[in-house]
Structure 1
């Protein structure tokens, strides 16, 4: 099941309307503040104007056309704020549903069966978030940590796979520090989800080209989605890993983004901002010999194909 129409926070959008690049894994409003220090927060009331201004500037300078916003249940999701940010910036936004990794699981996961969790997700996909009328357009970022998902994480992943198959959406994962991606993919596909409807997250944090090539060869997307987060991994290493994947013939499986997940990453607070991919990383990629067509493939066509399930010929 696939469609070439995206479900955005402001309504349906044809893939043909997305003429410029997409950011495949970002956060525009979230609250991951387990420590109580307020760092891992993007509060729409305080930080929304800065977020909207960055997106609008990227639309003007680089034709940024779409943001895949992967804040889900337990992460401080705010669909209404996403719709306001989308309208203010002029950039389309796809919102998400599902459950993050175990430290952020909501109480509903405690003793719920996979069937019950699947029903929760399908209802939200079909009916929208509460009474907002806003529908999710992707399942993500469905999380696990370590080399194997925990028992609750396994139920969450299985429910996401079943809900994706039932509704025609795709699944984007959170693989903590890049680990456990192959186990995630095995679990998701065991539920009948096609690999090409899966994006395995944070693979640029895993310095293992063999794993990246195995994921890509299966048909899954390989997300290099923390570009610019130098405290986790250098962009030099990211560049080497991505070039290795491209040289192996898998540019059609790569997704790129910055995963802005705290207000300190915003430009107004001295951070790298949502534009780091375009202003810093892509120029380095081009200098290494990657041409504009491959850049367009990785930043526009791949995200659209991932979200819709459309074939190479269709997009």
Structure 2
């Protein structure tokens, strides 16, 4: 009798059995980034200036909390540097998954303008199969595929559809950017409309949307619901995040929750007085536990769910 191969993660330092990740994951982060449209240098994680601080934080999280995996969703047009990601992964001793795709429309790159959905899908598949540039490093996820508003713009819809086709062709999953949490249902409809199963989709930034009914609808469809801006109090208080999280757990959908901090500015780093990548573990999860959530559900949300999302594995394939 033939048994299916165990689920595998594609990381910047090579393929890794999902079962070898025994500690928690950060499901939506940026380790290297350049979104500096304003010219003030704030929305930057420079591979030369900030990598030492990033590496120091991740190393400490591995030592203190067992952090085993970071899903790094910096894609085309966002200052992606996979060579820097590989250095960080090796130096911190943590698996890092790199991404491909396009962010929301203000950050679209020129090739989107005149390309068809199928042409964009071929661009993504080529990068997934052949590696990013000359690095040979292959993405392990499509993301963060962006839109803003309740309905994606025409270019954003084109990118979402292309991402779904590339995901189907390569076996990867799609993580989205729903600006301020809006438009997630429309994103999911576009992605599944191309034939992508909902369980291969994570709808981003849902902790910024104070609408539990939307969260339940997304989770009930089979999609993952990302509470991935934990600690960004300028957008939403952690108190509201906790209330929304507990409501989704109470509705029976803990198996569809992903958690992360979405560090997207150097000012968020501990080295600069920010909350850091570890805010989830140091501050927010203790509050979740104090609200009555047990360690098995914490492990589900922080380890098993990210592994299942990335690989498409069944619940029983990722051990508790």
CA RMSD of aligned residues (A): 0.9
Is 1:22 the equivalent of 2:25?
yes
Is 1:222 the equivalent of 2:225?
yes
Deviations 1:120-155 (A, max 9, x none): 000000000011110000000000000000000000
User: Equivalents in 2 of 1:115, 1:256: separation in Å?
Assistant: 32
* Correspondence for 2:308 among 290, 305, 310: 305
Once the two structures are TM-superposed, the CA of residue 2 in structure 1 deviates from its matched residue by 9.3
User: Equivalents in 2 of 1:272, 1:131: separation in Å?
Assistant: 35
* Correspondence for 2:64 among 49, 55, 61: 61
User: Equivalents in 2 of 1:112, 1:29: separation in Å?
Assistant: 27
Contact preservation (8 Å) 2:6, 2:317: no
Q: 1:177-188 counterparts in 2 under 5 A? A: 177-188=180-191
* Correspondence for 1:94 among 90, 93, 97: 97
Q: 1:46-85 counterparts in 2 under 5 A? A: 46-85=49-88
Number of the residue aligned with 1:278 = 281
Number of the residue aligned with 2:195 = 192
SS in 1 for 2:50: helix
User: Equivalents in 2 of 1:174, 1:130: separation in Å?
Assistant: 24
SS in 2 for 1:46: coil
For structure 2, list consecutive stretches of 5 or more residues without a partner in the other structure.
none
User: Equivalents in 1 of 2:133, 2:21: separation in Å?
Assistant: 28
For structure 1, list consecutive stretches of 5 or more residues without a partner in the other structure.
none
User: Equivalents in 2 of 1:111, 1:262: separation in Å?
Assistant: 32
Contact preservation (8 Å) 1:30, 1:42: yes
User: Equivalents in 2 of 1:92, 1:260: separation in Å?
Assistant: 17
Q: TM-score, normalised by structure 2?
A: 0.98
SS in 2 for 1:44: coil
- Where does structure 1 differ by over 4 angstroms across 4 or more consecutive aligned residues? none
Q: Number of aligned residue pairs: give it.
A: 315
User: Equivalents in 2 of 1:93, 1:200: separation in Å?
Assistant: 20
SS in 2 for 1:12: strand
User: Equivalents in 1 of 2:198, 2:119: separation in Å?
Assistant: 24
Contact preservation (8 Å) 2:176, 2:203: yes
SS in 2 for 1:68: strand
Change (3 A) 1:172 1:49: same
Once the two structures are TM-superposed, the CA of residue 3 in structure 1 deviates from its matched residue by 6.4
